[in-house]
Structure 1
């Protein structure tokens, strides 16, 4: 069974995307959905595009039907792995080098990805403003449907007790706190929204842990969803 690692860059051979680079991003839906990110180079700076699939079964079907042979680029000196067309197994950690990374390194890598996203995924100003707050850039960032979510843990199920900014159709932003979606405030600018979020983090909130919401004692008993 072929492994399709989440968040790792691969070079495509075959199919309509021959010669391009691919990276799979897991989104905080329930169950998780996926973005299949494509670009001209491994830095994902040019020619970017993406496909969305609703779950891991659709991801497997997409990869199979695309007739791609993917060479996953090495991490920390890891040997290059080649994934020929077949039945993929979706995993969010596949390499021992990646498993050994600290939570801070995992979070930093996730922010690097999110900060590089174009307008087809999220308004780039959103993660940039959030990242200016030290307490927020310690949290795990995720993007779904153009919204930036922050979690106190790096793996699903994620925590849902950190506030989120939602853009209003008429302008301005609503800041709501999960899981009850309580309205914390309505503000005019992104800067005000993320200042409010930083000031409204849960008691005892610190850097994201490398684990799930079940590993966060303060999340015990909360109704969770992605």
Structure 2
């Protein structure tokens, strides 16, 4: 097996004792057990990767597809579950858990060899594939379009429950009506509405963002947040301030995380 120093820190911590995994311990660890299952299924894998900080309970399968990261597998801490999370250029495209290592191997095979997200789900139904993930698979333009729709739908569901959801919805609707902002990827953070010029995490921080205020007004911050561009009485006024602070050549949003251009 090949050692790999990558840190699968996006995943749950490993259990402290074998517990529901005696077969893994007898095989010499998760990677060895996974390799044995792959051999039984006649899957032509390269050696399974191991995280040196936890060699018995970690395993990763590299993808042959450009952009798809090594898919690291972790173990559930209280019950037998193999947990996967597949990332591609700053976007989590698949997730899920199963107690069946053979089913996990089928999911990893699809991830490794370039199967579509739907094909991976069909081969291993435990794998969750969201509408937004499928939009990312089609490209950044579709990710932006679906991202906007899901953001607006989510805020509309909450607007009668939370004052700030209603205020954020108003500014989001006004921003969506502005073509120069509608082609950027939107997200909210601590009630603020942000826009990014890339669709992968970490998002870019090169576009002004808007804070709804308790007095019904809107405050527009420069990307650094330490600088206030100005306050506005209406969502439309706040959008105008955001547009005035857009960097040259801004948009449309592109694939990948910030710095990946």
| TM-score normalised by the chain length of structure 2 | 0.47
**Equivalent residue, structure 2, for 1:49:** none
Give CA-to-partner distance per residue, 1:144-164, whole Å, 9 cap, x none: 232211111111111111111
After superposition, where does 1:182-221 map in structure 2 within 5 Å?
182-216=227-261
**Equivalent residue, structure 1, for 2:143:** 106
1:115 paired with 2:152, answer: yes
Q: Which runs of 4+ in 1 moved over 6 A?
A: 91-95
1:191–1:214 distance in 2 versus 1, CA, 3 Å: same
Which runs of 5 or more structure 1 residues have no equivalent in the other structure?
Answer: 7-25, 27-59, 61-74, 217-226
Q: Whose relative contact order is higher, 1 or 2, with alpha carbons under 8 Å and at least 6 apart? A: 1
1:94–1:128 distance in 2 versus 1, CA, 3 Å: closer
1:116–1:92 distance in 2 versus 1, CA, 3 Å: closer
Q: 1:100 & 1:142 partners in 2: Cα distance?
A: 19
Which runs of 5 or more structure 2 residues have no equivalent in the other structure?
Answer: 1-81, 97-115
1:2 paired with 2:83, answer: yes
Q: Which has the higher strand share?
A: 1
Paired positions, count: 148
Q: 1:94 & 1:196 partners in 2: Cα distance?
A: 29
1:82 paired with 2:125, answer: yes
Q: 1:129 & 1:158 partners in 2: Cα distance?
A: 22
Residue 77 of structure 1: how far off its partner (Å)? 5.8
* Equivalent pair of 1:5/1:93 in contact (CA under 8 Å): no
Q: 1:192 & 1:110 partners in 2: Cα distance?
A: 23
Residue 187 of structure 1: how far off its partner (Å)? 1.2
After superposition, where does 1:17-96 map in structure 2 within 5 Å?
78=119, 79-80=121-122, 81-83=124-126
Higher Rg = 2
Q: Secondary structure in 2 aligned to 1:204?
A: coil
Q: CA RMSD in A?
A: 3.8
Q: 1:192 & 1:98 partners in 2: Cα distance?
A: 31
Residue 211 of structure 1: how far off its partner (Å)? 0.9
Counterpart selection for 1:173 from 218, 229, 250: 218
Q: 1:94 & 1:131 partners in 2: Cα distance?
A: 18
| TM-score normalised by the chain length of structure 1 | 0.54
